Structure 1
């Protein structure tokens, strides 16, 4: 009776030893399973102004035993764009050999009208057998920016010397933060005058446009020709300027006076020649 029982215990011990050995072998630091496919990024969160692109550096690894083609997609807010590049070339899909890794650059462009904040960008690299997911974060910083122009974009006009010309300028907040205490100034030729209405804009919200009326006065006896006046709008955070060309023409009265002066001079010379030419 003792011999069969002893033999059964030996068999049981051997049966338990094999699974325990296999578990120990799988957990051993010297033995590891083949790595799977991965899609990772060095930096998951980037911060930038809305006018600058967010550039992420990622790595794609094909851990499958066969070659795969991965297609890239990004879930973006309305008006945003995403561009994928590998080795400097733009692409939408990438063929990967088994066990190989490739660097992938992801460039995300925010909509110009995006307000400051943090945006989550899910990105996928999908093949026929697996989908790799990567979550990126783009933090849009607020920026100050202002533009100065005219309603129709025209930056030239004509004026008669000694008179004034009414102009209209447009001031636009093209940034993402409000602009306060914007002041209007002008750099014009000597003795010219520029009056603004209004001369100061207390507040201009993002995307908002305000018109400013300008009275440009040209002094008397200004020589006919083209003259430049530079208009500027600025505050402590942003500024913009535009050059306006004004063509000055002489008045009709000034022309007749000039012609009369010339005729008088010619007559005077003629009389002098007749009077002293006979001697």
Structure 2
């Protein structure tokens, strides 16, 4: 073998050795990086990273933060939220924005995230971080907005006043409107009335009301006898699993015609008695 070929062979061997060493070094760095990321991930974890809720119900995540360093760390708790969203984090029932952990210590964090009322349905990725001078820990949370619950209690005409006679009764028609994007269930209407007044409802409960739909509730309002004439307030309340609403009525009570005539008759009798007494004793 010529000297030229020998040099070429030795060069190829050296180049192969260097290449192999570079590959092994790159692999070692990658493994170290993966191990570091795995350790950081394990230091901040969530029991469930994906939660589904309506816009008027908070997302409640349960996380565990572990100080994997060899010294005490002060972790700042923060999240990258969509515009208008709110976050609060609690530890042992107290609201916190940062957390002190001794080396090797772990604590449970109750994280509550609230979407805006006009948030569009869909999945939102929320990075949550615990940042200390020594390390930055993060976990990607998923908040799935499925829509919103909303309802209005009103009347078909919009009128919120009625007139009744003392001792009488009247039918009032209420309208329940599902103004949200999700179905409503177990809706019930109740009343707050002056003492002695009574109501009954038909139907007593609405089992389910789809989004955009309305339902009618007939109310039979009874007023006791001898109710003093005047203005009264009556409030009807709508309550369900996810919503509440109310309608405030002004009720005007007037006395019956018979009661009026009886009152007039009593006054006339009293005047007659006075007149008779004056004629009788006025002559003496």
TM-score (norm 1): 0.55
Q: C-alpha offsets along residues 186-215 of structure 1, whole Å, 9 cap, x if unaligned?
A: 43337xxxxxxxxxxxxxxxxxxxxxxxxx
Q: Is the Cα–Cα contact under 8 Å of residues 68 and 96 in structure 1 kept in the other structure? A: yes
Q: Does 1:72 align with 2:74?
A: no
Q: Is the Cα–Cα contact under 8 Å of residues 146 and 175 in structure 1 kept in the other structure? A: yes
Does the C-alpha gap of structure 1 residues 95 and 228 become closer, same or farther in structure 2, counting only changes over 3 Å? closer
Q: Does 1:39 align with 2:40?
A: no
Give the structure 1 partner of residue 269 of structure 2. 265
Which whole-Å CA distance do the structure 2 matches of 1:92 and 1:139 have between them? Answer: 24
Q: Does 1:103 align with 2:103?
A: no
Which whole-Å CA distance do the structure 2 matches of 1:270 and 1:255 have between them? Answer: 23
Identify the match of residue 51 of structure 1 among 40, 52, 56: 56
Does the C-alpha gap of structure 1 residues 88 and 233 become closer, same or farther in structure 2, counting only changes over 3 Å? closer
Secondary structure of the residue aligned to 1:82 is strand
Q: Is the Cα–Cα contact under 8 Å of residues 56 and 115 in structure 2 kept in the other structure? A: yes
Does the C-alpha gap of structure 1 residues 83 and 256 become closer, same or farther in structure 2, counting only changes over 3 Å? closer
Q: C-alpha offsets along residues 67-91 of structure 1, whole Å, 9 cap, x if unaligned?
A: 2221111111122111112222211
Which whole-Å CA distance do the structure 2 matches of 1:74 and 1:113 have between them? Answer: 20
1:174 is displaced (CA, Å) by 5.6
Which whole-Å CA distance do the structure 2 matches of 1:42 and 1:263 have between them? Answer: 81
1:228 is displaced (CA, Å) by 6.0
Which whole-Å CA distance do the structure 1 matches of 2:103 and 2:275 have between them? Answer: 108
Give the structure 2 partner of residue 246 of structure 1. 251
Alignment of 1:1-279 (within 5 A): 36-37=39-40, 38-148=43-153, 175-177=180-182, 178-183=211-216, 185-189=218-222, 224-225=229-230, 240-249=245-254, 260-266=264-270, 269=273
Secondary structure of the residue aligned to 2:107 is strand
Higher helix share goes to which structure? Answer: 2
CA RMSD of superposed structures (Å)? 4.6
1:100 is displaced (CA, Å) by 2.3
Which whole-Å CA distance do the structure 2 matches of 1:47 and 1:96 have between them? Answer: 31
1:121 is displaced (CA, Å) by 1.0
Does the C-alpha gap of structure 1 residues 227 and 67 become closer, same or farther in structure 2, counting only changes over 3 Å? closer
Secondary structure of the residue aligned to 1:188 is strand
Does the C-alpha gap of structure 1 residues 139 and 267 become closer, same or farther in structure 2, counting only changes over 3 Å? same
Which whole-Å CA distance do the structure 1 matches of 2:104 and 2:272 have between them? Answer: 104
Q: Is the Cα–Cα contact under 8 Å of residues 189 and 229 in structure 1 kept in the other structure? A: no
Does the C-alpha gap of structure 1 residues 271 and 66 become closer, same or farther in structure 2, counting only changes over 3 Å? closer
Secondary structure of the residue aligned to 1:102 is strand
Which whole-Å CA distance do the structure 1 matches of 2:237 and 2:91 have between them? Answer: 44
Secondary structure of the residue aligned to 2:266 is helix
Q: Is the Cα–Cα contact under 8 Å of residues 231 and 251 in structure 2 kept in the other structure? A: yes
